Structures are given as structure tokens and as C-alpha cells.
Amino acid sequence: MTECLLAATTWLLPFAAIDWHGLFFLLFAAIACGAAIMVVLTDNVVRMALHLVLSLGATAGLFFLAGSEFVGAMQLMIYVGGTLVLLVFGVMLTAQTQLVSLRTPAADRVLAGILAAALFAVLVQSAVSVEAWRRPGRAEVSAPTATPLGMALLGVRVDGDAAGHESRPLSGYLLPFEIVSVHLLVVLIGAAYLARAKRRRTPRAVELVASVDPPPPVQTRSEAGESASVLVGGGR
């Protein structure tokens, strides 16, 4: 029974093994490029933001495919989760109805198109020219782990063999790591300064009350007695 099942499947699906890596690469590349082009084409700034999110998400997928998982996760978290949320906030704050879709005159668009096409041709020609880059990658490679990257950032290169030659010890990235963290701190403080609360909230009612003196001494029942018309003869 298994033989006929095997025959059926091979008859139905001729190729023996799918190159998964290639398939997923094409999928993510298609999404990334398609969304990037859509970003250029759409006028509605909110749609642009959405397409940008899709494009960067697909790029994160490409990073995973290329074996650098840490960079892929970092891209998802910092770039898409942080920077683009910031961008969308910016879009929300400024996207009043009349600003949502600003159209550029047709002349500039044509000019930009020509410029882009020329640039693209140059880049592709240079990408394809080097023969070494065209050969497919190594057949078997061990699954990636983040430890060498983590160690490298601490200044200890544990992936010596990857560099191929032992003569020159590889330098860790501790110094740039510290510089970037200080740099981010500076940017954080700068952004906080730019966005500081511009307008004091109108003084809360609490402060208003504090300035008012306590209530007048109210006589207790014994002196005041029930309320009665002041015009009645017995008024106090």
C-alpha cells in the first residue's frame, strides 16, 4: 500500500526536495520590496506608515533567514516596535484631514523616477558583477546562537575560527557599545528637553482651596434652633 501511495505523491509532485531557504527568502523579499514600493506610491501618510511597518517586518524575516537571529529580533523590537511607533505618533499628531495626503507635482515625480531607476541599475550591476558573491552559501552550517555576538559585545571574540586567520586577534566591540549607550542617553535627554511640558496645567482646584480660610464657625443646634421665618414675632 505504501508503494502506491509513494508513487501517487511523486507523480503528483515531481520535484523531490524544495529549497525552503530559497522559498522563504523569495516570500520575505517580495513582501519587503512590494511594501517599500507601496510606501513610495501611496499618498495617504497613514497608509505609508503601515506599508513601512510591513516592509521592515519582512526585512526582520530576511535577517532571521540570513542566520543573524539577534539582529532580526532587535530589528523587530527597536525598529518596528519603537521607531515606527514613534513615527506613527508623529503621523497621528500632524495628520489633520487636509495634511493627510499631499501630492507632489507630476514633473518632480517623473524626475525622481528616472533618478531611482538609474541608481537601481548601477547598484544591481555592481551586486551581480562580483562572481564570488553569486555562488550559493556553504552547504551545512551549525544553527546560529547569540552567544558569540554577546561575548563579542563584551570584548571577547569567541568566534575566532569564523574569521579564518588566527594571526590577527579580532577586537571586541566593547568601546563602540559604550559609546552608543552614552550617545543614546544624550539623545534621550535631548528629546525629553524638546518635549518638556510646555504649558502648566491650570492650577488644580486643590491649590485654590488651600488659599481659602476654614468655614465660618457654625452654631450647633442648641443656639440656632430650628429654622423659622425671621419675620415671625419670636425671631432671635
Partner 1 sequence: MLIAVGTVSVAHYLIVGAILFTAGIACMAVKRNALGVLMGIELVLNGANLNFVAFGSSYLAGEGRASLGLDGEVMALFVILLAAAEAAVALAITLNFYNNHATVDVDRADDLRG
Partner 2 sequence: MSQLLDDDQRIIEFDVRTDEMLVNMGPQHPSTHGVLRLVLRTDGEIVSEMEPHIGYLHRCAEKIGENLTARQWIPYTDRMDYLAAMNMNLGWSLAVEKLLRYEVSEKARHLRVLIAELNRIASHLVGMGAYGLDLGTFSPFLYAFREREKILDLFEEACGARLTYSYITVGGLTADLPPGWLERCEQFLDQFEPVIREYHTLLTTNAIFVKRTAGIGVLSPEMAIDYGCTGPVLRGSGVDIDLRRDGESIYTAMYDGYAFEVAVMKDGHYPRDHEYPAVPTDAVLGDCWHRFFVRMLEVVQSMDLVRQAIDRYSQCKGPLGEPLKLAEKLPAGDAYLETECPKGQMGFYLVSEGAAIPWRVRARSSSFSNLAVAPELCRGCLIADVPAVVGSLDIVMGEIDR
Partner 3 sequence: MAEFLIETIGLPSWLAWTAVAAVAAFLILNVIAGGALVFIWAERKIAARIQDRLGPTRTGGRFGWLQSLADGIKLLAKEDLMPDGADGMLFRLAPYVSFCASFCAFIALPFAFDVVGLRLNVGVFFVVAVLGLEVFGVILAGYASASKWSLFGAMREAAQVVSYEVPLGMCVVVPVMLAGSMDLVTIAEKQAGWLTNWYIFHDPFTFVIFWVYYTCAVASVNRAPFDLAEAESELVAGFHTEYSGLRWSFFFMAEYGSMFLVSALAAVLFLGGWNGPVPIASLLGWSDGSSLSAPYAVRLLGCANLMGKATAGVLVMMWIRWTLPRLRIDQVMTTCLKYCTPIAALMFAGVMLWQLFLPGGLVPGSRHQAAAVREAWLEGRGDRVPSTNVPLGVVPATSRQVVGVSQ
Hey, which residues between 205 and 224 contact partner 2 (CB under 8 A)? Answer: 205-206, 208-209, 212, 214-215, 218, 220-221, 224
Q: Do residues 53 and 80 lie in contact, with contact meaning Cβ atoms separated by under 8 Å?
A: yes
Closest CA to 21 of 57, 65, 68, 67: 65
- DSSP letter for 171, please: P
Residue window 74-113: x/- pattern of binding to partner 3, with contact defined by CB under 8 A: x-xx--xxx-xx--xx--x--x------------------
Residue window 85-104: x/- pattern of binding to partner 2, with contact defined by CB under 8 A: --------x-----------
How far apart CA 157 and CA 172 sit, in angstroms, is 6
Q: Which of residues 186-225 bind partner 1 (CB under 8 A)?
A: 187, 190-191, 194-195
**C-alpha cell belonging to residue 192:** 525629553
198 binds partner 2 (CB under 8 A): yes
> Binds 52, which of partner 2, partner 3, partner 1, none (CB < 5 to 8 A, cut-off by type)?
partner 1
Nearer to partner 1, 155 or 208 (CB): 155
Nearer to partner 1, 21 or 234 (CB): 21
Q: What are phi and psi of 233, to 5 degrees?
A: -50, -45
How far apart CA 91 and CA 83 sit, in angstroms, is 12
**C-alpha cell belonging to residue 31:** 513582501
Among 36, 38, 50, 170, binds partner 3 (CB under 8 A): 50
Calculated CA dihedral for residues 221, 225, 226, 230, nearest 10 degrees: -130
Q: Do residues 69 and 144 lie in contact, with contact meaning Cβ atoms separated by under 8 Å?
A: yes
Among 7, 115, 175, 208, binds partner 1 (CB under 8 A): 115
Among 26, 37, 40, 46, binds partner 3 (CB under 8 A): 46
Please tell me whether residue 233 adopts helix, strand or coil conformation.
coil
Q: Which of residues 206-225 bind partner 3 (CB under 8 A)?
A: none
| Residue range at the interface with partner 3 (CB under 8 A); choices 2-10, 114-122, 164-172, 207-215 | 2-10
Element (H, E) at 2: helix 2-12
48 binds partner 3 (CB under 8 A): no
